[in-house]
Amino acid sequence: MRALSLAFKNIRANPSRSFALGSFVLISSVIFVLFNSFVFTITGNMNDALVNALSGDIQIRPAASKETDMLSMKQGWSGLPPFTEHHTGAVMDALGKEEGVQVIKRVRQSVLLTTNAGQEAALVIGLDPNSAIYQKALMLSEGRYLDPGKSNEIVISKGQAKKLKVGPGDTVEVMVALEGQVPKTRKLQVVGIGELKVFNMFGIFFAYTDLGSVQNLMGYKADEVTDVIAYLPQADAATFADRVRVSLGETTSGPRDFEVTTRDSMGGFIMGGINLYSALLYGFIAILLLIVGLLIMNLVYMIGIERRREIGTLRALGFSRGLIVVLFVSEITFIATVFSAIGVLAGGVVVKTLSTISIKPAAPLDFVMGKEFYMQFNWWQVLSPLVVISVFTLFASLLPSYQAASLRPVELMAEK
């Protein structure tokens, strides 16, 4: 308690030094909060787009499917093996045991969209009529989304619409040509044109239609699908996938009928991008903290030099080296915590304000941030910098505090 009292007296006695240290911490806290929230928003948006537009939280498909990444640039979805009706039933039964899970059947296929203006490749996704989750990832510029009560409708990208010269109400012919088979065609009405809110670089490849239309095109029966998607409320995807494998009777030994994958494994290309952006941004924060740490160390060294006489006097009065270290650390940590709290509060206000403002990034930033960007406000993402900076300041002040406290009274007397 005596050390803390002396620490507060030192703060009052050296307001300019305390303010200089606090300013470093305050500015760092504001930047940390903004960058932390930005990374949280970017990674959250990219992950949500991957899940809502393509992979779901869990994807179950035939083991014969050789896909390794939903967004691989080197492979399409041509000739994906479908589940038999028996296998689809087994999957639905296994997922039906899990509470709160939304299950979607779908058929995916590489096709050609054809009009009098030309042809355009597409990766078409036939969705269960009751599925509207794709709407969270797809932003319309014209028309509407698929009507659950209708068939033979399709939503295409802006790039496809431009090349095919079509708009809502026009008809496109969808053609699939499998190896060794006669090409199959089906006419679908364009009802909507849009692009993915994130990953719009890939928007030219994807098109959405109803499940029945693609099944009829491929000649599938009602329960023959290429995969089943599960959306989880809160459960961990990896743990959930393990439970599903057990329910399906899948083992690591022996032949398998099902391939159960999570969003992380099927979104390898995108997850790699997410990790890269996170590493770059957090690398910047780490450099910022390092600079602040060096400034704090230098400042504490200077304080130690300025207070050599006081330190020598305290040591002569019986203060131990540890007690003087506590005195220094208490002073620095108190200043850092107070100014960090102010910085975090200011940064939180900025993030909260930005969460209500629509930002429309220009290319190429829109690939990562999307066509419309809102900063996400999360108390943990805002408050965590307070803990990090306070702890970092504590450790940064230990070494110079220890060196300052190592002064012996006899050394000070020898200087006179």
Q: What pLDDT digit, counting tens, does each position of 24-75 carry?
A: 788 888 888 888 888 888 878 878 888 888 888 999 999 888 777 776 655 5
pLDDT in tens, 238-251: 888 888 888 888 76
3-state secondary structure of 27: helix
Mean pLDDT value of segment 89-115? 88
Q: Using alpha carbons, list the distances in angstroms from residue 327 to 5, 238, 309, 311, 407.
A: 9, 48, 15, 10, 14
Contact of 364 with 19, CB cutoff 8 Å: no
Contact of 30 with 200, CB cutoff 8 Å: no
Cα 104 to Cα 246: distance, rounded to the nearest angstrom: 20
DSSP letter string, 115-140: ETTEEEEEEEEEE-TT--GGGGTEEE
For the cut 70, the answer to whether the pLDDT of residue 407 exceeds it is no
Alpha-helical (H) ranges within 127-262 are 158-164, 211-218, 237-247
When pLDDT is cut at 50, 70 and 90, the band that residue 235 belongs to is: low
Whether the pTM exceeds 0.85: the reply is no
Tell me which of 42 and 15 has the higher pLDDT.
Answer: 42
pLDDT in tens, 172-195: 999 988 777 788 899 999 999 988
Tell me which of 339 and 114 has the higher pLDDT.
Answer: 114
Amino acid in the structure at residue 140? L
Q: What are phi and psi of 199, to 5 degrees?
A: 65, 30
Contacts of 278 (CB under 8 A, 6+ apart): 39, 42, 43
Joined together, the tokens standing for residue 216 give: 């009829």
- pLDDT, position 257: 85
Run of H or E residues at 286: helix 268-306
Mean pLDDT value of segment 314-333? 73
- pLDDT, position 317: 67
Strands 258-262 vs 227-231: parallel, antiparallel or unpaired: unpaired
Q: Using alpha carbons, list the distances in angstroms from residue 249 to 68, 103, 191, 225, 258.
A: 22, 19, 42, 20, 9
**Contacts of the segment 91-94: beta carbons below 8 A, 24+ positions apart:** 91/60, 91/228, 91/248, 91/258, 92/228, 93/247, 94/244, 94/247, 94/248
Beta carbons within 10 angstroms of residue 160's beta carbon: 25
Strands 258-262 vs 58-62: parallel, antiparallel or unpaired: antiparallel
Cα 202 to Cα 70: distance, rounded to the nearest angstrom: 11
For the cut 80, the answer to whether the pLDDT of residue 366 exceeds it is no
Mean pLDDT value of segment 120-144? 89
Q: What are phi and psi of 338, to 5 degrees?
A: -65, -50
pLDDT in tens, 289-300: 788 778 877 777
Mean pLDDT value of segment 377-384? 75
For the cut 80, the answer to whether the pLDDT of residue 198 exceeds it is no
**Assign residue 133 a region: left if phi > 0, alpha if psi is -120 to 50, beta otherwise?**
alpha
Residues found in the chain: 416
The residue to which tokens 């030192």 are assigned = 10
Contacts of 197 (CB under 8 A, 6+ apart): 45, 49, 137, 138, 139, 370, 371, 372
Cα 111 to Cα 206: distance, rounded to the nearest angstrom: 10
Cα 303 to Cα 380: distance, rounded to the nearest angstrom: 34
CA 247 to chain centre: 30
CA atoms within 13 A on the CB side of 237: 18
